[in-house]
Structure 1
Amino acid sequence: MQLKRTLNRIETVALSVAVIAMTVGMALNTPFVAAASGAAVPLVYIISTVGVLCIALSFVRLASKIGHAGSVYGLIRYAQGRNPGFMAGWALLLTYTLFIASALFGFGLFASMLFDPIVKIAWPVYSVACGILVWWVTYRDIKLSTRLMLSIEFLSILLLIIVAMVILHKQPASAVPFQVGGAGIVGISQGLVFGVMTFIGFEAAASLGEESRNAFRDVPFAIVATVLIGGAFFTFVSYAQTIGFGLDNVKAFAAAATPMNDLTSHYLGEPFNVAIKFGALISNLAMAVGSASAASRLLLALARDGFLPRPVASINSFGSPKLATHVVMALNMGLVTILPFVVASASDLYGYVSTIATLTVLVAYGMMNLATLTHFARQDLQTGKPYRLVPPIVGLLLSAYVLFANVYPVPAAPFNLFPYLAAAYMLIGAAITFLSARKDSSRAMDAYVFHRVPPTIDDATQEVEGRSQA
């Protein structure tokens, strides 16, 4: 059996929107930006949007040429060959796998915040229950997953927009958050690290290259749309948060563990704060489902091409990865069952696994930009379009900067150990590459290449004119 092309454009977008987890990002990440950049939090998100868009355009150029369930693995294999593709895919596989765990920990955190006033249940119980639900949804038809994710994210995003609008209605507007201010360029650049990290997962739709009906259009659209929508949402909500805490009270913003909950309680009261906690809860659920969907397809693609046991590439009667889903979810159920005995805090575990996931995804992003740069450089220079090389160059430099900033200065324990864990994981990938080494056929990717040429603007104009004459 093969994966089936059943998804429309909106369903394709849903996967990236779910994995980026916009509500979770605004619920937890903005204090880190405020600590580095002061009141200029929305300015940081504007700059981050431009930078991440450059990385996204590298995905877009290759995703318009080839549709592959392996995401960066398939795209980079097409551009640079089998082994570089595997290493990038191997890096992204750990990211998606750990994103599931972090989302399950986040679900447990917000579930305990929401239900503890009613009944006291240990947070790992909520995480395990969520994991079982994610397992069931991911195993079934991908259309069920995408529709569920889209509905959940739409509701949680809407809740945050309501809170932001109430804050802006009650507080005077100010241009200060859009100015560099006292933080200076250094503060802005430090905040940029956390700003970019909020976007991680925007590329998830690339794993639907074999299931989107018009993948050569819809996958690039999903990637760019997610970055632009996310950027607008992050800028708007972070501006409201900055104004809500007060321009002279940025320290309180930076110290807030859950800024949206604090602001909601202050401006709308505790009843609506319950709704915000619920929104964060279901956003974690959507993130877990999206990450599991992407991870299982990436694992399937690697197994299908001989890097892992071939039975892992099996597909179930719903047209979704069979054994790959079980492997990914069994691993994560083990993590959410065992790790709470080692680290008691759900928020700490969320931070730990997210940090490791960030390190490997930045490797994948860097390799993606490098692949796009090397693959298209000669073509762009020969056709007099060197400006098209600017996005992958910017994306490569940005990925390298954010990765460097995560390892130097050396962070406090246990974060100082995580780069070594990520490096050890990548060495395992290198060993797999060596053990499975074989000559890569130049025709190996032909089945996944789009052989039709996407219509140009002129083609679209002629089509519209033809319809009007008819």
Structure 2
Amino acid sequence: MTALERAIADPPSVSGVLDRSPVSGLARRSIGFLDVLAQSVSAVAPSAAAITFPSIVAAVAGDGTFWAVAGAMLLSLLVATTVNQFTRRMSATGSLYTFVSKGLGTLAGFATGLAMFVGYAFVAMFSLTGCGLFLATLLGTFLPAVQDSAMLVSASIVALAAVCFLVLARGIRLSTRVTLIVESASVALILVLTIAMIARQGGGIHWPVLSIGGTSPRQFATGAVLALMAFVGFESASTLGAEARRPFASIPRAIVWTVVASGVLYLLSTYSQLVGFSALGRSITSSSSPVNALADAYGLTWIGLLLDASIAASFFACAIASTTALVRVIFSMSRDGLVPAALGRTHPRLKTPIAAVAVAVPVLAIVPVLAIGFGRGVWAAMEVLLVASAAGYITSYVLVCVAVVVFLRRIGELTFWVGVRAIVAAVLLGVGLVVYLLDRSTSDSAAGVWIFLVIISIGMIAYRALRARRPWLRHTIGVYDETTLQDLLGGSPGPSPDHGIPGS
């Protein structure tokens, strides 16, 4: 008998191991790398962003548009590699919320959780609204009377939210597979269109569109922050830490691959759009739908319907992925005692955070419908939702970049270049956040800035009141998946986490 066979037959005792994970109830170790990758890619919604963001960035960055997108990609990579210092060490359903709590303590951790709540929730609302809008546009091709119907968009949001609920309730494998199929088809179509437009321009590099002359530092900085919005959500794979089979390997890869792949697609799309409009003697900002305008101009009108369908599908995939991440953050905060314990319940058979899904999804449908009904239209509502979401994402990224330095120093594993990357990312993001909020506070979407600030302020006041009643919250938040008896040969029970949640 070999040593391995003897160890299996009579394993040495390992004491003090938990008999269940602090995040028990989820489908632990059930999904592979493709599912994890699909989560991050879909949360970013690269095909929709590749079509819509170049003109948004160009309106601010002007001649520096291409390099603003490149700068946003590099900054996203800095943040991604910084976040991965945690994902290689910890399987946390709460993602950045849990990571920051381990580095900067419970107050900063809660602030991060609140910022992530705003980021994920408002981008999910933005995506549902965007999907409804492009579906209405698509239908308007055949029925012009409904082209600009806010009522149709609102009805679509409700219907799409119902589909999201069904997908999320059925299990993580279904939701990641749906988003993977939808987003893959969308990206493929965008690549075909982009390559076709570049081919129509002939060979060689069109250097004028790569010039940065005439762009002020402020314009470039604002444009880069706007371009950064096309990357937010790349970290959402980390919310599947408990459910991934090999979390310490698959999640870091998924996060970096998402940034790189999305960045390459954005650069290609930005370049093709800039070159296309330059050849026409027009500005990319001269059309409300630049890619459709280019498709018409270059004899690719047939692709218009497919393009609208692709963008709608990408928005829908983003809504599912963002809601997937959102409900897991809520689930983690519930297990920590920061929100009602009932939100930490999971479905006994499907292993999904069903209570958080049941509460979150209706809110994600109701808010944008009200915003459209009482606001100035669909696009105006989408702009406000996007501003609030962006502020939430960037705030959480700043905090996690600071937290990693403190965390690694505390455990004796801080290296020079890791520290430099984290500090540079934190400084650039912090400056970018201030510039972005100041710029948006004087725009038509200023309501998004105030919504973000009000939610953060009320949340922090509520947290201080809660912590006064529950002093143990100063030290106990930030649950993550831990080794259990089923993971080891010879494990013997230790104290089991008791969350007081029946059926969890």
TM-score of the two chains, using structure 2 as the length reference: 0.84
Of residues 157, 182, 191, the one that matches 1:127 is 157
**Matched letter for residue 436 of structure 2:** N
Of residues 316, 323, 332, the one that matches 2:364 is 332
**Distance (Å, rounded) in 2 between the aligned partners of 1:79 and 1:155:** 39
Distance 1:187 1:87, change over 3 A: closer
**Distance (Å, rounded) in 2 between the aligned partners of 1:193 and 1:80:** 25
Match of 1:3 in 2: 26
Match of 1:263 in 2: 294
1:83 to partner: Cα distance? 2.6
**Distance (Å, rounded) in 2 between the aligned partners of 1:51 and 1:388:** 14
Of residues 61, 76, 100, the one that matches 1:37 is 61
Match of 2:481 in 1: 448
1:248 to partner: Cα distance? 7.7
Distance 1:410 1:329, change over 3 A: closer
1:44 to partner: Cα distance? 1.9
Contact 1:60 1:220 (8 Å CA) reproduced: yes
Q: Does structure 1 residue 158 correspond to structure 2 residue 188?
A: yes
Match of 1:94 in 2: 118
Distance 1:231 1:188, change over 3 A: same
Distance 1:44 1:432, change over 3 A: same
**Distance (Å, rounded) in 2 between the aligned partners of 1:337 and 1:447:** 35
Contact 1:73 1:89 (8 Å CA) reproduced: yes
**Distance (Å, rounded) in 2 between the aligned partners of 1:186 and 1:248:** 28
Contact 1:164 1:237 (8 Å CA) reproduced: yes
Match of 1:293 in 2: 324
Distance 1:263 1:111, change over 3 A: same
Q: Using the TM superposition, name which of 188-197 and 296-305 deviates more.
A: 188-197
Q: Does structure 1 residue 308 correspond to structure 2 residue 331?
A: no
Q: Using the TM superposition, name which of 342-351 and 215-224 deviates more.
A: 342-351
**Distance (Å, rounded) in 1 between the aligned partners of 2:482 and 2:65:** 41
**1:287 aligned counterpart, secondary structure:** helix
Distance 1:118 1:253, change over 3 A: same
Contact 1:42 1:236 (8 Å CA) reproduced: no
Q: Does structure 1 residue 439 correspond to structure 2 residue 469?
A: no
Q: Where does the alignment leave 5 or more consecutive residues of structure 2 unmatched?
A: 1-23, 147-151, 485-504
Of residues 75, 85, 94, the one that matches 2:109 is 85
1:383-462 counterparts in 2 under 5 A?
A: 385-409=415-439, 411-412=441-442, 414-437=444-467, 438-439=471-472, 448=481
Match of 1:456 in 2: none
**Distance (Å, rounded) in 1 between the aligned partners of 2:307 and 2:259:** 23
Of residues 195, 198, 204, the one that matches 1:168 is 198
Contact 2:385 2:448 (8 Å CA) reproduced: no
**Matched letter for residue 481 of structure 2:** Y
**1:7 aligned counterpart, secondary structure:** coil
**Distance (Å, rounded) in 2 between the aligned partners of 1:290 and 1:99:** 10
**Distance (Å, rounded) in 2 between the aligned partners of 1:264 and 1:165:** 12
1:433 to partner: Cα distance? 2.1
1:362-401 counterparts in 2 under 5 A?
A: 362-377=394-409, 385-401=415-431
Q: Where does the alignment leave 5 or more consecutive residues of structure 1 unmatched?
A: 452-470
**Distance (Å, rounded) in 1 between the aligned partners of 2:57 and 2:440:** 19
**Matched letter for residue 329 of structure 1:** V
**Matched letter for residue 345 of structure 2:** S
Of residues 361, 380, 386, the one that matches 1:354 is 386
Distance 1:446 1:311, change over 3 A: closer
**1:213 aligned counterpart, secondary structure:** coil
1:186 to partner: Cα distance? 4.1
1:436 to partner: Cα distance? 3.0
Contact 2:99 2:478 (8 Å CA) reproduced: no
Distance 1:408 1:112, change over 3 A: same
1:93 to partner: Cα distance? 0.8
1:310 to partner: Cα distance? 0.4
Q: Does structure 1 residue 140 correspond to structure 2 residue 164?
A: no
**Distance (Å, rounded) in 2 between the aligned partners of 1:379 and 1:182:** 47
Distance 1:447 1:332, change over 3 A: closer
**Matched letter for residue 294 of structure 1:** A
Distance 1:187 1:344, change over 3 A: closer
Distance 1:164 1:401, change over 3 A: same
**1:408 aligned counterpart, secondary structure:** helix
1:223 to partner: Cα distance? 0.9
State the aligned residue count. 448
**Distance (Å, rounded) in 2 between the aligned partners of 1:241 and 1:449:** 48
**1:182 aligned counterpart, secondary structure:** coil
1:144-293 counterparts in 2 under 5 A?
A: 144-172=174-202, 173-246=205-278, 249=281, 252-293=283-324
Across the aligned residues of Structure 1 and Structure 2, the Cα RMSD in angstroms comes to 2.2
Match of 1:462 in 2: none
**Distance (Å, rounded) in 2 between the aligned partners of 1:412 and 1:116:** 33
Q: State percent identity of aligned pairs.
A: 21
1:410 to partner: Cα distance? 6.1
**Distance (Å, rounded) in 1 between the aligned partners of 2:244 and 2:189:** 29
